[in-house]
Amino acid sequence: MIKYRPVKEIALIGLLSAFNIASRIGLQALPNVKPVTSIIILCVILFGLDFAFKVTVVTTVVSNIFLGMGIWTFFQILAWFVICILTEILVRLFHIREDKPHYMLMACFSFVMGYVFGFVVSLDQFLIGGLGLFIPYYLNGLLFDTFHAVGNFFFYLMLAPILYKIFEKDLKKSEQYH
Closest of 83, 82, 91, 110 to residue 47, by C-alpha: 91
pLDDT grade, residue 98 (50/70/90)?
low
Domain span at residue 38 reads: 6-177
- Residue 45 located in a structural domain: yes
Q: Is the pLDDT of residue 36 over 60?
A: yes
Burial 42-73 (b: 16+ CB within 10 A, else e): bbbbbbbbebbbbbbebbbebbbeeeeeeebb
- Residue 43 located in a structural domain: yes
Domain count along the chain: 1
pLDDT score at 25: 96
- Residue 1 located in a structural domain: no
Q: Are 35 and 155 in contact (CB under 8 A)?
A: yes
- Residue 22 located in a structural domain: yes
pLDDT grade, residue 175 (50/70/90)?
low
> Rounded to 5 degrees, what angle do the CA atoms 57, 14, 159 make?
90
Average pLDDT of span 44-71: 96
- Residue 48 located in a structural domain: yes
